[in-house]
Amino acid sequence: MADKENITYISILTDILRKKELVLRELLDATNRQGALLEREEFDIDDFNRIVDEKEVSLNRLAELDEGFMELYEKVRTELVENTSAYAQQVREVQMLVRTQTELSTSLQSAEEKNRTKLSIHLSQSRQKVKDYHVSSATAAAYYKNMSGKHQDGDSYFFNRKK
């Protein structure tokens, strides 16, 4: 392979890594927005779902970039390994970008884990509210059912039956 062609491939690899970094930052931002939603008193499921949809688009884009990177890297890998010194500057830049992405990925995983915990707490609280509502509703229904047969027309509601 020609040297100029390899430099072009490495340049494209670098561009892909920069795009991946932007997508990871978008994902981290969306994850942080989800966390803020989960901390609110009133949880808006529609906003949460919109962010989930945004993240899905970003994850698909990230997968495409990963696939393109790996295909291109396979074309230049042997040349990079055999002539490391010839491409030292480009390799250092690629390594720096990979390190940044690793840090972003770690931050993203941490934020996702926090959100998962917050969502779990929110769901258990919601389940408890529903359960409490059903218990209250059943108690009220039982009370009214019980009381509906006790009162006869003409009977006083007062404890003292004296007139």
Q: For a pLDDT cut of 90, what percent of the chain falls above it?
A: 48
What does the pLDDT read at residue 128? 67
**Cβ atoms within 10 Å, residue 120:** 11
Q: For a pLDDT cut of 70, what percent of the chain falls above it?
A: 75
What is the rounded distance in angstroms from the CA atom of residue 24 to the CA atom of residue 58?
Answer: 8
Ranges 23-32, 49-58, 83-92, 119-128: which has the least confidence: 119-128
Q: Which helix (H) or strand (E) holds 6?
A: helix 3-39
Pairs from 80-84 (Cβ < 8 Å, separation ≥ 24): 80/6, 80/10
**Cβ atoms within 10 Å, residue 4:** 8
| 2, pLDDT greater than 60 | no
pTM of the model: 0.72
| 1, pLDDT greater than 50 | no
**What's the whole-number mean pLDDT along residues 135-161?**
59
| 147, pLDDT greater than 80 | no
What does the pLDDT read at residue 67? 96
What is the rounded distance in angstroms from the CA atom of residue 105 to the CA atom of residue 21?
Answer: 9
The pLDDT tens digits of the residues spanning 34-83 come to: 999 988 878 788 998 999 999 999 999 999 999 999 999 998 888 888 88
Question: Which tokens hold the place of 61?
Answer: 């884009």
Alpha helices in 40-156 (DSSP H): 45-82, 88-148
Q: Which bin fits 154, alpha (ψ -120 to 50), beta or left (φ > 0)?
A: left
Query: When comparing pLDDT for 116 and 144, which is higher?
Result: 116
Pairs from 109-114 (Cβ < 8 Å, separation ≥ 24): 111/28, 111/31, 111/32, 111/35, 112/31, 114/35
